[in-house]
Amino acid sequence: MKNTILALALAAAVAAAGCIGFEHTSTATSPSGGGVNALMGTWASASVVPSPSSCADFKWNATERTSTSAKGSFSATCPNDLKVTGTAEGTLSGTTVAWSANGNATGPNQESCPFTLTGTAELGVDSIRVPYSGTACSIPVSGVEILKRK
């Protein structure tokens, strides 16, 4: 009888072990492409309605890169209908990007004037969150923009 109980217990243990499975799932929480490749390509504003003191319609086309940085052309529309165009560059460290942009701004009935913007962006899976501050034609601007790959 003891042998029968032992055999049943052993059979139950083997059957239970066969029912236990191993499952592994993975969720992407970092930018696709990895490293500086995540910065390459054309990026544009995801939001449509900016606040009155912020810039909008950001576009960045990253065309040059090193192992830790990328640069390319940049444009946006800032308060008072200032259109800014120039260059932007960023240096990647983990999932943050220290960046700067500069160039010229033009507005209605206004001569061209310089702009500078800086910030530390945060890479997401399919977006870049871009806090910025600076000046466009001596007008202080700041805000946060979300860029999506186009």
What are 127-150's pLDDT values in tens digits? Answer: 888 898 998 888 888 888 888 877
Q: Which residues contact residue 104 at a Cβ distance below 8 angstroms, ignoring those fewer than 6 apart?
A: 84, 85, 86, 112, 113, 114, 115
Predicted local distance difference test score (pLDDT) of residue 48: 58
Domains parsed from the chain with CATH numbers: 35-149 (2.40.128)
DSSP-derived secondary structure for 2-70: HHHHHHHHHHHHHHHHHH----------S-TT-GGGGG-EEEEE--S---TTS-EEEEEEEEEE-SSEE
What are 92-125's pLDDT values in tens digits? Answer: 898 899 999 999 999 888 889 998 999 999 988 8
- How far is Cα 82 from Cα 58, in angstroms, rounded to an integer? 12
Query: Taking 70 as the threshold, does the pLDDT of residue 90 lie above it?
Result: yes
Q: Give the predicted TM-score (pTM) of the model.
A: 0.66
Q: Which residues contact residue 48 at a Cβ distance below 8 angstroms, ignoring those fewer than 6 apart?
A: none
Predicted local distance difference test score (pLDDT) of residue 53: 66
Mean pLDDT over 69-86 rounds to: 87
What are 1-53's pLDDT values in tens digits? Answer: 443 333 333 333 333 333 333 333 333 334 444 566 666 667 767 765 666 66
Predicted local distance difference test score (pLDDT) of residue 118: 96
CA distances in angstroms from 16 to 2, 7, 23, 116, listed in the order given: 21, 14, 16, 66
- Cβ atoms of 90 and 70 within 8 Å: the answer is yes
Predicted local distance difference test score (pLDDT) of residue 1: 41
- How far is Cα 31 from Cα 122, in angstroms, rounded to an integer? 10
Token digits for 6? Answer: 């032992």
